Each structure stands twice: as structure tokens, then as C-alpha cells.
């Protein structure tokens, strides 16, 4: 198991901290001494997760706060509350996401749910919190992508899937490619402006969490069987699956602009390794255009 370096004195925000890789990251970062804000959509679930972590580690410094990444007003309110506290934010972990709902859903603001939550919500949170991050010592912004980014494509003519026939997985792939491109474009912006922050991406490979079943069950009367129940591909537990994210968030060797994921079979399982950035994610012109479009759609441009 990866040993998280000492995080004493660091304030960390983890989105989606009540379950899966977010909960595991919260557990292990707090065990290493970090003060963790558990950013969750449902406070009751966040408090339950907090209680479970405290049962194993009573000394953990954990706070639950509400954020709904599918609601830009909620994102702004969450960011404003942290800014009002005035404590420098050492690490922002953009972990939360939704995966492959069977039908096209929309966010509060009218965006397609996966693009709106997985990318635009994370983008708005990142840009709003950037001044607080830049005030910290050796800060990081870490964003969870996915191996599905490899098949993603940014379609500027139909980012919200209003014209094309709905494809749950292709839409998910676009949102996760967008997350990876956000990380790369932020790294480029950081370098251009001389800021002291690392922008890093990770992916969990094929990790058994409720992400696969929760998204696929949206709008259904009965939960849909998760793909992880089918013995088609190698998969791993959340303790292993969270390690690329933890490496990106805490390891001294995690490179600015880097991308990390499992290094084992099919790059779906195993110890953390450098992940290959897909060709489309390296298109700097598309990345710059996507960043500008995200600023326009969210109304949350960078002000630093």
C-alpha cells in the first residue's frame, strides 16, 4: 500500500469524499495529518463517511461541507465560504463525478449532466478557488480523469449532446477528456504566469466503486447491474484504485502537468505509474478553446 507523505499543516478539499476513491483519499490524507474538507452533495452521507473514518482514526481533522457540482450557484457558495475562512488551500482534489446515465440528463444550469458536473463544475471550482490555492505553500490542483478519456472527443458543435444520438459512454469519455485537458491547460497557464502550483491529473483504472452502478441507475426504477460485476476485465479494490490520486495529491515526485494511473494489466490495475496522455488531450489549440468556452459557460474566469 502506498504510504502517503506527511501532510501536517496542509488544508485539502476532496470532492465526492463520501464514497469510493474520494472517501479513501480523505481517509489516507487525513491519516497523514492533513485537515480535509469533505465536499459532498448530500450532507448526511458526508457525515456518515466522516464518522466511519473517525472510528478508525479519532484524531482525523475532517469537516463536511455541501457542494453540488451540477449547480454553479452551489459551487460559488462553497468557494465563497472557503475564501471567507481565509485559510490557504494546499490541495484541491477534483474527484467527484457521475458516469453513464442511461438517458440524457441536465444540470441545474441546463448543461448535459456529465459534461456539466464532471468538467464544468470542477472547472468553476478550480478557477474560483485558485487565489486561495496560490496563497498556500507548495499547493496542488489534482483532477481525476479516466482511461475513457482515450476514446473521448471534444465536439464544440455539440458539447451538450443536444443533436447527436445519446451515448452514455461517449459523453462520459468527452467529459473526462475535458478534465485531462483542463489539467494540461492549467499547467500551461501556471507556467506562463509564473505561479507556484502543480496541476496534476490521475485516473483510477478499473476500480470497484459505486460510480459505475450509480450513474447507470439514474432514472431507473431498479438499480442496474454494474459492469464491475462482470468478469470481463481485471479490476481492483478502492484502496489500490485511489493510489494514483493520492500520489498526484501528495507525492514529492508527482510532476507538474503529469498524469498518473495504474501500471499493471491493460493499465487498469496495479501500482501507480506514469499514464500516457492521449493524442487528443495534447492538442493545445483545442485545450485553449475549451478553456475559453468553459470560462464563458460557467461565468468563472481566472481572476488572479
| 3-state DSSP assignment of residue 100 | coil
Instruction: Spot the catalytic one: 2, 172, 259, 260.
Output: 172
Q: How far is CA 95 from the centre of its chain?
A: 3
Phi then psi dihedrals of residue 151, to 5 deg: -105, 10
User: What's the CA angle centered on 203, arms 213 and 114, to 5 degrees?
Assistant: 50
Provide the H-helix boundaries in the chain.
20-31, 43-56, 72-85, 113-114, 122-134, 168-193, 211-216, 238-241, 243-250, 284-298
Q: Contact at 8 Å (CB) between 179 and 149?
A: yes
Euclidean distance between CA atoms 22 and 35, whole angstroms: 14
Phi then psi dihedrals of residue 64, to 5 deg: -100, 130
Q: How far is CA 272 from CA 205, 221, 253, in A?
A: 10, 38, 12
- Can you tell me the distance from the alpha carbon of 259 to that of 248, in angstroms, rounded to the nearest whole number? 8
- Pull the grid cell for residue 180: 485531462
For the four alpha carbons of 280, 284, 285 and 291, in that order, the dihedral sign comes to: positive
Q: What is the DSSP letter of 130?
A: H
Q: Of 211, 212, 215, 190, which is closest to residue 200 (Cα–Cα)?
A: 190
**How are the residues of the chain apportioned to helix, strand and coil, as percentages rounded to the nearest 5?**
45, 15, 40
In angstroms, the CA 176 to CA 152 distance is 7
Annotation says 2 is catalytic: no
Residues with active-site annotation: 172
Amino acid at each position: 500500500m502506498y504510504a502517503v507523505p506527511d501532510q501536517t499543516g496542509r488544508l485539502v478539499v476532496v470532492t465526492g469524499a463520501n464514497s469510493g476513491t474520494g472517501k479513501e483519499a480523505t481517509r489516507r490524507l487525513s491519516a497523514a495529518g492533513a485537515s480535509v474538507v469533505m465536499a459532498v452533495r448530500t450532507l448526511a452521507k458526508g457525515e456518515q463517511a466522516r464518522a466511519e473514518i473517525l472510528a478508525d482514526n479519532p484524531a482525523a481533522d475532517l469537516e463536511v461541507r455541501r457542494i453540488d457540482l451540477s449547480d454553479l450557484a452551489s459551487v460559488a457558495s462553497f468557494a465563497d465560504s472557503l475564501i471567507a475562512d481565509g485559510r490557504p488551500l494546499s490541495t484541491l482534489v477534483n474527484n467527484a463525478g457521475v458516469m453513464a446515465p442511461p438517458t440524457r440528463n441536465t444540470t441545474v444550469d441546463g448543461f448535459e449532466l456529465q459534461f456539466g458536473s464532471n468538467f464544468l463544475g470542477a472547472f468553476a471550482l478550480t478557477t474560483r478557488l485558485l487565489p486561495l490555492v496560490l496563497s498556500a505553500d507548495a499547493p496542488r490542483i489534482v483532477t481525476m480523469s479516466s482511461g475513457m478519456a482515450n476514446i473521448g472527443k471534444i465536439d464544440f458543435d455539440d458539447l451538450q449532446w443536444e443533436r447527436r444520438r445519446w451515448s452514455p459512454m461517449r459523453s462520459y469519455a468527452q467529459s473526462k477528456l475535458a478534465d485531462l485537458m483542463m489539467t494540461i491547460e492549467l499547467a500551461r497557464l501556471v507556467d506562463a504566469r509564473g505561479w507556484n502550483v502543480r496541476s496534476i491529473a490521475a485516473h483510477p483504472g478499473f476500480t470497484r466503486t459505486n460510480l459505475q452502478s450509480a450513474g447507470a441507475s439514474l432514472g431507473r426504477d431498479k438499480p442496474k447491474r454494474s459492469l464491475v460485476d462482470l468478469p470481463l476485465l481485471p479490476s481492483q479494490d478502492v484502496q489500490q484504485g485511489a493510489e494514483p490520486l493520492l500520489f498526484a495529491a501528495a507525492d514529492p515526485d508527482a510532476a507538474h502537468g503529469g498524469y498518473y494511473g495504474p501500471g499493471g494489466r491493460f493499465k487498469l490495475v496495479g501500482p501507480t505509474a506514469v499514464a500516457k496522455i492521449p493524442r487528443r488531450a495534447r492538442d493545445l489549440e483545442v485545450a485553449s478553446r475549451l478553456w475559453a468556452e468553459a470560462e464563458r459557460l460557467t461565468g468563472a474566469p481566472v481572476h488572479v
